[in-house]
């Protein structure tokens, strides 16, 4: 891989499901060396997703539960990142 995202951080929504589009995007960025912030509704699932991505690709990850339809949740995510 080219490691085109090395030294960068990507915030990916909808990444809790192992077979979902958000996870596929997070995995692709992680394969390219990018650190990942994954957000989704379910706290347990998103924390597991972050742990799985970190283990598989050796990048830094952070899982934050968030309802992206609520501006206050989105503001909290950005502040946390």
Average pLDDT, consecutive stretches of 10 residues, N- to C-terminus, the chain (81 residues): 91 92 96 96 94 97 95 92 85
The CATH number of whichever domain residue 38 belongs to comes to 3.40.50.720
Q: Which domain holds residue 45?
A: 9-80
The answer to whether residue 76 sits within a structural domain is yes
Report the predicted TM-score, pTM, of the whole model to 2 decimal places: 0.91
The answer to whether residue 28 sits within a structural domain is yes
The answer to whether residue 63 sits within a structural domain is yes
* pLDDT value, residue 1: 66
Quick check: helix, strand or coil at residue 15?
coil
24-29 contact pairs (CB < 8 A, 24+): 26/53, 27/53, 27/56, 27/57, 29/5
Residue pair 6/34 in contact (Cβ under 8 Å)? The answer is: yes
* pLDDT value, residue 2: 83
**How many structural domains comprise the chain?**
1
């Amino acid at each position: 891989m080219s490691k085109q995202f090395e030294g960068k951080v990507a915030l990916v929504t909808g990444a809790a499901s192992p077979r979902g589009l958000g996870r596929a995007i997070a995995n692709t960025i992680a394969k390219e060396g990018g650190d990942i912030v994954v957000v989704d509704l379910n706290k347990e699932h998103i924390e597991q997703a972050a742990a799985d991505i970190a283990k598989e690709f050796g990048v830094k990850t952070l899982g934050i539960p968030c309802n992206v339809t609520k501006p206050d949740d989105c503001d909290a995510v950005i502040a946390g990142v």
